[in-house]
Amino acid sequence: MRTQKDITQEELAKFLNTTKQNIYKYENNIITNIPSDKIEQMAEALDTNSSYIMGWTDYNGKNNNAKLRDVAKKSRSDISSVRINVYGRVRAGFPQEAVEDIVDWEDIPKEWTIGNKEFIGLRVEGDSMAPKYIEGDTIIIQLQPDCESGQDCVVYVNGCDATLKKIVKQQDGILLQPLNPNYLPQKYDYNDEECPVTILGIIVEIRRKV
């Protein structure tokens, strides 16, 4: 529809105050949980309505009842769940800057959030935590600033470089232990000001698409 109206991705991105990359992800279903304000802006830019953008009505305004029934059914089934964002990728290898774009979403049991617990999803990249974690896995992370020794965690090194590792707490420092024997562990002193390690959260679940 965008191309039919001779609108480029750059032009639509500017109208929505977002990036060309996000427009590409919207159009190719890489990002499926599009913010409602973006849907409304997109409908305005393309001279249509939000329902058509979401595929709930066809172009001449007739209701797509099958689609609406599917959405209603899913809404009823999701009452006991909470939807969380899945962000970019976290490297299961040498630390690198985590990508913060939202690339997907996952549903988690609502009971997990009791006590104001917070969760996010991240995509795994690399093979240093194989075979337990493989590239493309989505890991569900409970956000918390500490962990038990032996737990798998996402940690920040240098304040911005994120990596997935097994955490081994030692008397004089913290060891980031890969599960793949082809990789060496990385050790950091607790008081290392040049290369501080902070814990983002612990892994509570791995989700793998087959």
% of the chain beyond a pLDDT of 90: 31
Catalytic residue among 165, 166, 187, 209: 165
Q: Which residues contact 31 (CB under 8 A, 6 or more apart)?
A: 22, 25, 102, 103, 104
> Which of 77, 96, 124 represents a domain boundary (last residue)?
77
Q: What is the pLDDT of residue 71?
A: 45
Residue 33 in domain: yes
Is position 110 annotated as part of the catalytic site? Answer: no
Give the phi and the psi of residue 48 in degrees, each rounded to 5.
Answer: -140, -155
pLDDT tops 80 at residue 208: yes
Residue 98 in domain: yes
Q: What is the pLDDT of residue 16?
A: 81
Q: Which helix (H) or strand (E) holds 9?
A: helix 9-16
DSSP of 129-186, one letter per residue?
TTTTS-TT-EEEEEE-S---TT-EEEEEETTTEEEEEEEEEETTEEEEE-SSTTS--E
Number of domains in the chain: 2
Q: Is 57 helix (H, G, I), strand (E, B) or coil?
A: strand
Do both 25 and 61 map to the same domain? Answer: yes
Q: Is 188 helix (H, G, I), strand (E, B) or coil?
A: strand
Is position 166 annotated as part of the catalytic site? Answer: no
DSSP of 69-106, one letter per residue?
HHHHHHHHHTTTEEEEEEEEEEESSS-EEPP-SEEEEE
Q: What is the pLDDT of residue 194?
A: 67
> What CATH number does the domain containing 198 carry?
2.10.109.10
Do both 178 and 199 map to the same domain? Answer: yes
| Lookup result for tokens 């004089």 | 172
Do both 102 and 199 map to the same domain? Answer: yes
Report the pLDDT averaged over residues 166-187: 94
Whether the Cβ atoms of residue 190 and residue 170 lie closer than 8 Å to each other: no
Paired sense of beta strands 102-109 and 96-97, if any: unpaired
pTM, to two decimals: 0.59
pLDDT tops 90 at residue 75: no
Catalytic residue among 14, 25, 117, 128: 128
pLDDT tops 60 at residue 120: yes
Nearest of 143, 75, 134 to residue 107 by alpha carbon: 75
Do both 92 and 182 map to the same domain? Answer: yes
Q: Which residues contact 167 (CB under 8 A, 6 or more apart)?
A: 147, 149, 150, 151, 152, 153, 155, 174, 175, 176, 177, 199
Do both 73 and 87 map to the same domain? Answer: no
Write the burial class of residue 52 (CB in 10 Å: 0-12 exposed, 13-18 middle, 19+ buried): middle
pLDDT tens, 87-101?
A: 876 555 544 455 557
Domain membership of residue 130 as a residue range = 82-207
pLDDT tens, 28-66?
A: 878 777 777 788 888 888 878 776 776 665 554 444 444
Whether the Cβ atoms of residue 133 and residue 116 lie closer than 8 Å to each other: no
Nearest of 128, 168, 152 to residue 200 by alpha carbon: 152
